[in-house]
Amino acid sequence: MNFSVLISGGAGYIGSATVKYFLDKGASVVVIDNLVTGHIEAIDKRAIFYEGDFSDKNLIELIIKRHNINSAMHFSAFALVGESVENPAKYYENNVAKTIIFLETLAKNNVKYFIFSSTAATFGIPDRMPIDETFERKPINPYGRSKLMVEEILKDFANAYDFHYGILRYFNACGALDDIGEDHNPETHIIPNIIKTALDENKVFKIFGNDYPTKDGTCVRDYIHIKDLASAHYLTLEYIMKNNKSEDFNLGNGKGFSNLEILHAAEKVIGQKINYEFTNRRPGDPPVLIASSKKINNLLGWKPEFDSIEKIIESAYKWHKKYPEGYKK
């Protein structure tokens, strides 16, 4: 299939992995990113890059016409839960208002196929596991609400225009490729923070809460490698373009690991003990979040290549050893 895809946020963690995956599959890829949180070093050199904002109508129109864009993917969201609570205006402006402008520009310029990077945060705190696509969405913070708003907007666009979408809800993206890894500021994800602690003997890793109703008292999460996320994007875009249909999928490994289990798996991979201590719970952290990916498996044949947590951690560890200061090594 002929993909000529515009990827917003292609300098970010998941976006850059998806850029590389599509290029490896022979697609034409154009990246737009304002580099506020992304890294130009993460963008595959084979991609065409524009520095700018995805809500810049004139720039988006120029890109679409110049490069015969037939599809788009959207990774340009702010994604820190705590920050969204403290500064909801920032999240609703970028994640909702600007996304409406982006979608409108795409639809007006005959770009009919769109993949949206959504989140498990749209589900809030479910009362059972694993989470499938039929679960009620009850987000508990502005970040999750901003993503759910766009999901609903996409349905309205599909009803009103010749427009088809794929919604992909991630649980915990993790791992690394040879030259693509996590370099966030601040870093809030567990695996890179554990690895950074292992690489600096003066650091102590903090586990938020040890009194949850789980097997060892720490939160349980579902982890998925960025390459597996990228392959799901490819299969989903292929499906909606072939069938002129819209679909939504949850993406995870279907297996849960507690914070302590992640820490001990990292110790096994790295070959050393890691200093850690328990601290207070973070507000709004559900005890358990595990995805059901049966729908995308049954419909598109998607299965995670990285099906062991040790393989995921090993890939991240190799990247952090190579880039101990992040992309500014």
198 is written with which tokens? Answer: 């292992």
Residue 276 annotated in active site: no
Count CA atoms within 13 Å of residue 14 on its CB side.
Answer: 28
Q: Return the structure tokens found at 255.
A: 């297996």
Q: Are 50 and 59 in contact (CB under 8 A)?
A: yes
62/68 Cα distance (integer angstroms): 10
Using CB atoms within 10 Å of the CB of residue 193, give its burial: 0 to 12 exposed, 13 to 18 middle, 19+ buried. middle
Catalytic residue among 143, 165, 170, 317: 143
Residues 6+ apart with CB under 8 A from 305: 225, 227, 228, 231
Check: CB of residue 5 under 8 Å from CB of residue 72: yes
Contact 69, 237 (CB under 8 A): no
Distance CA 64, CA 54 (A): 12
| Tokens 């875009």 sit on residue | 237
Distance from CA of residue 75 to its chain's centroid? 7
Q: How many CB atoms lie within 10 A of CB 95?
A: 22
To the nearest 10 degrees (0 to 180), the angle between helices 259-270 and 309-322 is 60
Vertex 219 angle, CA 213 and 225, to 5°: 145
Residue positions annotated with a catalytic role: 143
